[in-house]
Structure 1
């Protein structure tokens, strides 16, 4: 099965702001980027998207009114840290997470392993769901999870996978 992992384009959030499931907008102009993304995708694909607007806008451009959303494709839930500057998160909260982001749960949010588990659930469900290629419009954390599974990479090494805004990554399951 061909899967095309597509990261949303750049958001309006300033550098240094923690955002995961906060429903932030994408920065304009974005139509030129959308057109470049389309060129990298097959025409007969089934399109899935995170339900966050920064992904759905692109998904709707790719498959107008014909894409499906799935909450398992949402970015990591950063809970109490959402929309805070990373530098302003209290050290007693962030230090344990920085030492073990895979297993330590963000206050009011989730751990990376919880994100990974929901992504695996989506993969397993869709593996036999369609004969068509899948296009998945989602977030860097979700894409890194897919890549960890695909490359048999330890979750602690997930950030070795660089994922740029608007990047398309093709994998074969």
Structure 2
């Protein structure tokens, strides 16, 4: 069995769609970071997205864990032309609504679809499981990346996965067993 402890990076305080932009996280709540680090298994290996908000969060909570190289495929959804824009500023509101209400093959201009993100993140997870069989893995990533794995574990639609809240500095625990993924906890705030 492999256990994944998905951690969403620290808050950015951005009020727009932040995907691949390299915006730093606010890691000033050192007490919350300490609680989070203490909650995670000490013998785990730790990996993060290569974006600074995830990397810095991972470094802040790593403690005694073996820190692996950053994994580009754990990045957030690539919002393309919508990057760093507020929802109400997107000219084609029908396209924007379709992207969020019928996630699947719909892409933002120059961005990626839900299916693209899911395949990218799932590929990284498969590589991590193969490289570290039976190990606990702490993965510091982004809301969209984590939700792709919640969707897989619960066997639900992408739309239903979006109903799950993934707060900054929360832990979502998923186990890989012979029967597949099992969700043990979603959006736990230590």
Q: Does TM, scored on the shorter chain, surpass 0.5?
A: yes
Shift of residue 122, structure 1, vs aligned partner:
1.4
Higher strand fraction (1 or 2): 2
- 1:61-100 alignment, distance < 5 Å: 61-63=60-62, 66-90=67-91, 91=93, 93-100=95-102
8 Å contact kept, 2:47–2:67: no
Q: Which has the higher contact order (CA 8 A, sep 6+)?
A: 1
Q: Which moved more, 1:150-159 or 1:62-71?
A: 62-71
SS at match of 2:104: coil
Q: Give, in whole Å, the separation in 1 of the partners of 2:57 and 2:28.
A: 13
Q: Does 1:169 align with 2:182?
A: no
Shift of residue 23, structure 1, vs aligned partner:
0.9
Shift of residue 28, structure 1, vs aligned partner:
4.8
Extract unaligned runs of 5+ from structure 1: none
Q: Give, in whole Å, the separation in 2 of the partners of 1:72 and 1:133.
A: 19
Shift of residue 92, structure 1, vs aligned partner:
5.1
CA shift in 2, pair 1:69/1:43, >3 Å: same
Q: TM-score, normalised by structure 1?
A: 0.91
Query: What is the aligned partner in structure 2 of residue 110 from structure 1?
Result: 112
8 Å contact kept, 1:3–1:171: yes
Structure 1's consecutive aligned runs of 4 or more residues displaced over 6 angstroms after TM superposition are: none
Superimposed CA distance per residue, residues 103-123 of structure 1 (whole angstroms, 9 cap, x where no aligned partner): 101101101110001111112
8 Å contact kept, 1:60–1:67: no
Q: TM-score, normalised by structure 2?
A: 0.83
Number of corresponding residues: 171
8 Å contact kept, 1:59–1:67: no
Extract unaligned runs of 5+ from structure 2: 177-190
